[in-house]
Amino acid sequence: MSLDAVLSRIDDDLPNAIDRLMELLRIQSISTDPACKTQCSKAADWLVADLKGLGVDAQSRETPGHPMVVGHVEGDGPHILFYGHYDVQPVDPLDLWDNDPFDPQIEDTAKGKVIRGRGSSDDKGQLMTFVEACRAWKAEHGKMPCRITFFFEGEEESGSPSLVPFLEENKDELKADLAFICDTGLFESRVPAIITQLRGLLGEEMTITAANKDLHSGMFGGLAMNPIRVLSGILANLHDDNGRIQVPNFYVGVPELPAEIADQWKALEFDHSEFLGDVGLSVPAGEQDRSPIEMIWSRPTADVNGIWGGYTGDGFKTVLPAQAHAKVSFRLVGQQDPHTIRDSFRAWVKAQLPADVTVEFNGHGASAAGQMSTAHPAFEQSRAALGAEWGHEAAFAGCGGSIPVAGHFNGILGMDAMLVGWGKDDDQLHSPNEKYDVESFHKGIRSWARILDAIT
């Protein structure tokens, strides 16, 4: 009965919850824009004030960049850390927005009502679902359901430069039994998912150099080595005909999918033809002995993200360029070591260079994959709670992208993270006209209330 009362309160208070979210969305907390520094501090202060209104001992903590918001509330049962971020992406190009991105609006669409504005889905709307669930619980019971630490970051959209030092300096204060992260979404916009696998990311930029200057192709063509030819050959060798990556020892540390997880994924009935069809494609291009959903959730990748060299302007210039360039990224899974793979990739490239040709590398990040243990009972309890709210059995899902904070919580604070979110595929994250469905906001609040009830 106590949960029913909390859920009813959430339903009745939804208009006020939306108004509070609108206030937060009006704050222009673009973390990467120096002109918005005071706005980022304003967003942090707004959250501190809101948490204090719930009886949370909350503070805005200074960092070399934007403030961290940290709040504590005592309680019985498990100790939960909830993480979200209050900073948002830039709004450029502004002329593609239908309205002012920081003047949020409720809009009627063919699929229902949406909250339109920058940060509505990523991540202010998601962050506030948990806060609103706690608000309803406190209003109904006079206290929070358990001991909770609130931890809100202000630099997630600009690379989180202050995050690791802050975690290391405050790890005794921030360590909890389990972390909740609300920065993900529903599977195919309808099925709740608990993300337990996150791919890591390794970036490499390389410059292939042959001659010491650009050459006339009529005078040197056929005699002098063209670095674009060398680079093209190397990139063509990156995969075999079945999509398997050819860097030596690349697959060391890549696990097989557990049978119970494979069954959950199969039950999702992922339609790759529709997924690819939305972007004008039809045929899965990854490892051909793997299912399409494995390709994007649990298998590693190698992708050429950019390639250039020679004359690319208007008209034509018959030149043999001195240099050719490429950017290559690797999505990593399981226990793959990004630093070992970097060394292996560089050695593999160098072994393919002909005489007179050299290569220089510039690394761009090296984060390992995140693999969350589901042994903690809260995982299965939360899965059941989500199924009850959404009418679909929740799945332990993978995520093709990277959410580094989950790995930091594990490596620095020694705790696993549960990633749950209510975003939909058409939320237009990082793009003009970002939105968050009112249904996602409403049912997200209700979902957190169900989860809190289930684990306490």
Using an 8 Å Cβ cutoff, are 59 and 154 in contact? no
CATH topology of domain 2-198+369-455: Aminopeptidase (3.40.630)
CATH second-level architecture of 200-254+300-367? 2-Layer Sandwich (3.30)
Domain span(s) for CATH 3.30.70.360 in the chain: 200-254+300-367
Using an 8 Å Cβ cutoff, are 446 and 8 in contact? no
With residue 14 as reference, give the H or E element that holds it: helix 14-25
Beta bridge partners of 106: 115
Using an 8 Å Cβ cutoff, are 27 and 46 in contact? yes
Q: What are the CA-CA distances from residue 411 to residues 231, 402, 418 (Å)?
A: 37, 15, 15
In the three-class reduction of DSSP (H, G, I as helix; E, B as strand; rest coil), residue 15 is classed as: helix
Cis bond before residue 123 (omega within 30° of 0): yes
Residue 28 to residue 94: CA distance in whole angstroms: 14
Give the orientation angle of helix 37-52 with respect to helix 14-25, to 10 degrees. Answer: 150
Q: Which residues contact 288 (CB under 8 A, 6 or more apart)?
A: 242, 243
pLDDT values of the chain reduced to their tens digit, one per residue, 456 residues: 589 999 999 999 999 999 999 999 999 999 999 999 999 999 999 999 999 999 999 999 999 999 999 999 999 999 999 999 999 999 999 999 999 999 999 999 999 999 999 999 999 999 999 999 999 999 999 999 999 999 999 999 998 999 999 999 999 999 999 999 999 999 999 999 999 988 999 999 999 999 999 999 999 999 999 999 999 999 999 999 999 999 999 999 999 999 999 999 999 999 999 999 988 999 999 999 999 999 999 999 999 999 999 999 999 999 999 999 999 999 999 999 999 999 999 999 999 999 999 999 999 989 888 888 888 999 999 999 999 999 999 999 998 877 889 989 999 999 999 999 999 999 999 999 999 999 999 999 999 999 999 999
Domain span(s) for CATH 3.40.630.10 in the chain: 2-198+369-455
Using an 8 Å Cβ cutoff, are 348 and 361 in contact? no
Indicate the DSSP class of residue 157: G
pLDDT (0 to 100) of residue 379:
95
pTM for the whole thing? Answer: 0.86
pLDDT (0 to 100) of residue 1:
56
Our CA dihedral for 133, 138, 143, 146, rounded to 10 degrees, sits at 0
pLDDT (0 to 100) of residue 237:
98
With residue 365 as reference, give the H or E element that holds it: strand 358-367
> Which phi and psi angles does 200 have, rounded to 5°?
-80, 180
